[in-house]
Amino acid sequence: MIAKRVQQIPSSGIRKFFEMVIGMDDVISLGVGEPDFVTPWPVREACIYSLEKGYTSYTSNWGLQELRDEIAQAIISDYGITYSPEDQILVTTGVSEAIDLAIRAITNPGDEVIVVEPCYVSYSPCVVFAGGKPVPVATDSSNHFKVTPEQIRDKITDKTKAVVLSYPNNPTGAVMNKKDLEAIADVIVEHDLIVISDEVYDKLTYDGKHTCFASLNGMQDRTILLNGLSKAYAMTGWRIGYAASTPEIIGAMLKIHQYTMLCAPITAQMAAIEALKNGREDMLAMVKEYDRRRRLIVKGLNALGLDCIEPKGAFYAFPSIKSTGMSSEKFAEKLLKEQKVAVVPGNVFGACGEGFIRCAYATSRDVIKEALERMETFVSPKS
């Protein structure tokens, strides 16, 4: 009964583990992929005000003009690149929708899309849903989970259409600096490809400045830039993301969006306007706090003998658990059962994530300290 394309996606084995975690009462969780902060009050307050004023309707399929203006302005001031808010920016229901739209807008049946792993879980399934073929590229910890031009070149065939990049990266915390990315850009030009660049963690960059892929020389017209407010402004539940690219690509994405989503919720769009206009200080304060926690957890994990490269972005540490001899899933399950600490097995994010676990540090310092203590008991029990 079910379409083959959908059947093709294996039902996620991780579901069972997730349900175990959620069913447990006193679990200490490093497994949450979202901020522990509640959305800053001024943003919530602006949203309440919009409801009081009666803003409850549909918006333009593109999203509210004022929001697109703010987004365009933010991209200019952060990265110095200009997108017309009239036809180059589309407001979506979270970056998740934007990922789907971007892939569907450019993928023909049989097209190959290179997905750099480990990465967030939705890219490859979206390629499959679009009738394309996801081609994973494995990065490794010895290169700090950065992808190299050779690794991409190795996977390119005459069917390759696009490359999905996501830096700062979930789950590894890796970032790619300007030089790293320029080397990738050369391959993109050489093989006439499109880059789908999910930069939802851009504000959460701790050492140095984030480089927007579209800001590289000649890359703006080859990039579908995806971003949103979820991570930076602690607005995950509001579901506001956006895509920026050429009028042609954004027009194609709009076509799908208008028939499937119509528009992002107006209430959330109103809140997003306030966040972009006045939320910068709150955002920077949160980033600063993540940075402190990052240093705590990285030091703690390394002290446990779980080798962890320094994550330079997002809010995840991705330590190796290879020294324990356990698989990622085995480690996560045992840790949950014995010490009630939840982490996410690295293999969920791609085959090359095997041997690692994802520890989110978007949680209070007290929780991080408690989790590290329990993990210490787990990896080196006192006899």
Please give the residue ranges that form the binding site for another protein (CB under 8 A). Answer: 18, 21-22, 24, 27, 29, 31-38, 120-121, 170, 236, 288, 291-293, 295-296, 299, 342, 344, 348, 365
Q: Which is nearer to another protein, 46 or 342 (CB)?
A: 342
Residue 230 contacts residue 34 (beta carbons within 8 Å): yes
Q: Least distance to another protein from the beta carbon of 219, Å?
A: 28
- Map tokens 């967030």 to a residue: 120
Q: Which three-class secondary structure state does DSSP give residue 21?
A: helix
Q: Least distance to another protein from the beta carbon of 296, Å?
A: 6
Q: Least distance to another protein from the beta carbon of 253, Å?
A: 23
Nearest partner of 90 among 101, 76, 79, 106, judged by Cα? 101
Q: Which is nearer to another protein, 367 or 379 (CB)?
A: 367
Nearest partner of 151 among 164, 160, 138, judged by Cα? 138
Backbone angles phi, psi at 367, to 5 degrees: -65, -40
Q: Least distance to another protein from the beta carbon of 279, Å?
A: 17
Q: Which is nearer to another protein, 159 or 288 (CB)?
A: 288
Distance set, CA 334 to CA 16, 263, 324, 328, 345 (Å)? 14, 43, 12, 10, 11
The tokens describing 252, both together, are 């194609």
Q: Which three-class secondary structure state does DSSP give residue 90?
A: strand
- Cα angle value 309/315/318 (rounded, 5°): 35
Enclosing H/E stretch for 285: helix 280-303
Q: Which is nearer to another protein, 174 or 212 (CB)?
A: 174
Q: Which is nearer to another protein, 159 or 295 (CB)?
A: 295
Q: Least distance to another protein from the beta carbon of 154, Å?
A: 27
Q: Least distance to another protein from the beta carbon of 145, Å?
A: 17
Q: Which is nearer to another protein, 35 or 132 (CB)?
A: 35
Residue 234 contacts residue 362 (beta carbons within 8 Å): no
Q: Which is nearer to another protein, 34 or 78 (CB)?
A: 34
- Map tokens 């041997």 to a residue: 355
Q: Least distance to another protein from the beta carbon of 67, Å?
A: 24
